[in-house]
Each structure stands twice: as structure tokens, then as C-alpha cells.
Amino acid sequence: MTIQWYPGHMAKARREVATAIRWVDVVLELVDARIPSASRNPVLGELIGDKPRLVVMTRVDLADPDVSRRWIGFFARQGGRAVAVDARSGRGLRGIGGAVRELAAPSVGRWKKRGVRNRGVRVLIVGIPNVGKSSLINRLAGRSAAKTGDLPGVTRAQQWIRTSEGFELLDTPGILWPKFEDPETGLLLAATGAIKEEILPLEEVALFLLKRLQLTYPRALAGRYGDLAGEPEDWLEQVGKGRGLLMAGGRVNVAAAAELVCREFRTGRLGRISLEAPPDEASAEGVDNG
């Protein structure tokens, strides 16, 4: 299965980012803490280049805390910087301001040498759809400054937001890339809600989730849906039957069971779960916290 979603506004946003990157001091690259690798857009990486960047792992409240700590260590070993935040509660936001000022110091110094002293630190915020950019901006700005929503593709136009710390934030629409080299990347993005459900084979995404969780968080999975037995292709039937998702004649509504699995994963009903471990460790199958 190949999952692709690259509407026209994303191509336009890519061009806008390429232009804006020249005028900012620091880039905040937002990734989903549950899939920090799959949610990094390689196209954005190319556009950012050598510009100082801070990787911001969002939705950390939904991710396995131990795995998130390991990811921060991974980024540090790669020579980068990363922080984990929960934009809804504000946890972790304090680490952003200090890191941004430190990363921006060389650029600010160059501006001061040119006689520009009242210019705020300019920060570009980039990431894939539905990674929490607008929610983070609202937290940093201390007000409802950016349009927010739970669906990918809410932010369509660039807008500058000034914060109380003197930062000037530039929000950009979420951007995916035209082709996923690894089919699993599409499944991971679909599982976390970065791709609109209207174009998804949701049953396949749900089955992918069940298989992954059976390997990595079997106790959490069993605690929610009971022991899934037999072939994986039968698991959605078992979930639907256990939850009473039945149609006329007693048949299981497999589509409803698939929607249930995806929704309960995305909202944390299955617990705090990470679908990827750092690549310098074991594969995702080594996440296992039960």
C-alpha cells in the first residue's frame, strides 16, 4: 500500500518556506514525539540546511516518556538540540525560549554590528500537518494568536506572531513530501493523524497499529481489547465483537472497529505509546514497555 497526500497548498508552502528561511534566525522543527523520525520531512531538512534549528517534539503527553528521553539523547548525539513539549498543558515550553536565544545569538550579534538593535529574534516554525504548530504558537504567544484545529491542513497562510519574550514567530502550513520512500512512513503518519482520513484505507492503518502494538506494548493492547488470537487479519473482527460493534445479522462492523482503534491510539486511550525508537538503538520492536 502506498499513502500519498500532497495537495497544491503544500507545494506553495514549500516555496514560501524557501523564501522565509533567509530572513529568520532560528528554525523550530516540530515533530510528533510518537514518531520523531517518520514525522521529519526530508524536504524541510534540505530547506533548513545549516540554519540553527531546535527540534521540538510535540504531543509528548501521548508518547512513552522513556522513549522520548531516549530520542532527546539521540538528537544530542547527532549534534542537534531537542526539547519535548505538551502544548496543551504548557509542559516543557520553558526550554524553548532559552534554547532559541542561545541558537540565535550569532545572528543577533551580526545584526547589532550592523546597527540594528530593536529587531526581535525571528523564528520560523515548520513541520508536517497536524503536529501542533498552531497550538504551540498560541502557548508561546500567551493568547489565541493562530488558527488551531485537530485536522491536518488547518493553517494555509503564513502569519507573523510576536511573543512576550521578544520573538517574532512565523507560522507556516504543514508540509508533507511528494513521495514516501518507505511505505511504513505513510502508515505511521496515517496512524497519528497527519494525513486526512478521507483518503486512507483506515482498516489497513488500524491493522498496522494492532500488529505494531502487539509487538511493542502487548499488555496495553490486551488491557484494552483482550487477548487477540489467531491471524492478525482476524483481530479487527475480535476488537469489534468485544466492543459490540455489530451490524444487522450480528456481523461485525470492521470499519467501525478500525476507526475505534485509530481514535483510541490518537487520543491516548491505549496509554502513552511511541511507535518509533531511536535508530541507533533497536528497531521499533524494541520499544516494548508492555
Q: Residues annotated in the binding site for GTP, as ranges?
A: 130-135, 174
The DSSP 8-state label assigned to residue 252 in this structure reads B
For every residue of 111-131, DSSP letters joined together read HHHTT--SPPEEEEEEESTTS
Burial class (CB in 10 A: 0-12, 13-18, 19+), 101: middle
Please enumerate, by residue number, every residue annotated as part of a binding site: 130-135, 174
Amino acid occupying residue 89:
S
By DSSP bridging, strand 26-32 and strand 82-84 are unpaired
CA pair distance 204, 39, nearest whole angstrom: 19
- Contact status, residue 235 vs residue 228, Cβ threshold 8 Å: yes
Grid cell 476488537 is found at 239
Consecutive H or E run containing 56: strand 53-58
CB count, 10 Å around CB of 81?
Answer: 18
Three-state SS at 159: strand
- Contact status, residue 77 vs residue 28, Cβ threshold 8 Å: no
Half-sphere exposure of 97 (CA within 13 A, CB side): 14
